[in-house]
Each structure stands twice: as structure tokens, then as C-alpha cells.
Amino acid sequence: MAFVSHAQEHVVPIEYENIQDFQKNISNQKKEVSFDRYGDLNNDGINDWVGVLNIPRDESPPFVQLVVLTGQPNGRFVKSVITTEVENYYEGSPSSWFDVSIRNASIYIETYGKTCCEFGSTRYQFKLFKDQWRLVGIKSTSGNTVSDGNPKNDFSKIEDINMLSGLTVVTSHRGGKKTERTHKRKRGVFLLDDFDFSSSYAQ
């Protein structure tokens, strides 16, 4: 019996001399950096870079995209992750927005929203896990923003999910009384590549 060997396809990483080189490259695609963050994401002592790109469209609102470049010992940067372009739901809204931060070798993306009576935020934690940028945690906070003067009607809830173990802790406050319950949820694998900036992602 003959065995046919298939050589594994080698993907050459896309490198940039510096961040300015990357910005020049995306400007040719009519994209621009809306804001960016620096921090060490892989514990190698070298700053990496996360950028949120604004992508104008003929229609409104514009689209948004997130890019991760990992810093190299030679000072160059390699493209590690680029998310799909999605509509920027937050553009121009005074009551909803998002932010990105780097700490604990993780990328945190937090979405916020509020109405006249309620508020909500969801924080997603992505970390390099087994060579994949995986969602490792979700923390959601919600509650009411307007009190009718009766403390018994004040309410807030925090749901903290470990996406690797499935352990979920739900803490509620109602009328000054705190309750906490713990359960396991079905685990799934969610990658940064597929992040869509919505508060319902992976929910």
C-alpha cells in the first residue's frame, strides 16, 4: 500500500517594520486607527499592540474591526489576529459605547449601554490559550438606574463566567439584600477572530 505524504501548508506571517508602517498599509485600504493600546500579551517582556480600526462606509454608521500585532525582539510587529468587519453599533450614540484594555496578558473588551431606567455592561476577556486567542471570561453587570425612592426596588446583578471551566457565579442585590448562586454552564470555544462587538456575543 502506498502512503501519500501531504506537506503542511506554511503560512508566512505578515510583518510590519513598526506601527506607523501598519497604519500606512491600512490607509491604502481606507481604514484608520480609532484608538489603540500597548501591553505585553504573551509574557515575553515585549509590548504588543491592539488597535481598533474605523472603516467608513457610504452608508451610516461606519464599520469597526480589531487588530492584534505581536511585538518581536527585532522591533518589528507580526499580525496575530484581525476580526471580521462589523457595523459599529456604538458610533454616535450617547448611551452606548465600548472600550479596549490590556492587562494580565489579556485583551479586555467592554461594552456599555443604558436607557432611562436600566444600565448594562459586558466585559470579555481574551487570552492566548494553546496558540489560540480564546474567550476565557465574561463578566456582565446590569441593574436599574432610577430609584423610585423605595430601596426595596433597587436591583443589580453581576454574572461572572469562566469560559474554560464553565463555572458561573451570579451575584444579585435587591433592596439591600445580597444573594449568590453558583452553577456550571456548557462550555464552548469562542475565538477573538469572530468577535462582533455586540453585548450578546457568546451568550
Once rounded to an integer, what is the mean pLDDT over residues 28-41? 93
Whether residue 92 lies inside any domain: the answer is yes
Q: Is residue 1 assigned to a domain? A: no
What pLDDT, on the 0 to 100 scale, is given for residue 11?
Answer: 55
In a domain, 203, yes or no: no
> 118-152 pLDDT, tens per residue?
889 999 999 998 889 999 999 999 998 766 667 67
**Does the residue 74 lie in any domain?**
yes
Residue 202 falls within a domain, yes or no?
Answer: no
For residue 43, tell me if it sits in a domain. yes
The grid coordinates listed for 30 are 481606507
How many whole angstroms separate alpha carbon 47 and alpha carbon 69? 10
pLDDT of residue 9: 46
Residue 167 contacts residue 141 (beta carbons within 8 Å): no
- Mean predicted confidence (pLDDT) in 180-188: 88
Averaged pLDDT score across all residues of the chain? 87
Tens of pLDDT, residue by residue over 90-101, are 877 878 889 999
- The CA distances from residue 24 to 34, 92, 152, in Å, are 14, 26, 56
Residue 52 has pLDDT above 80, yes or no: yes
Structural domain boundaries enclosing 103:
15-194
Q: Report the predicted TM-score, pTM, of the whole model to 2 decimal places.
A: 0.86
Residue 110, in any domain of the structure: yes
For the stretch 54-111, pLDDT in tens is: 998 887 788 999 999 999 999 999 999 999 999 887 877 878 889 999 999 999 999 9
Q: Dihedral angle at the C-alpha atoms of 31, 123, 136, 169, nearest 10 degrees?
A: -170
1 pLDDT above the threshold of 60 = no
Residue 164 domain-assigned (yes or no): yes
Tally of structural domains, the chain: 1
31: three-class secondary structure by DSSP: coil
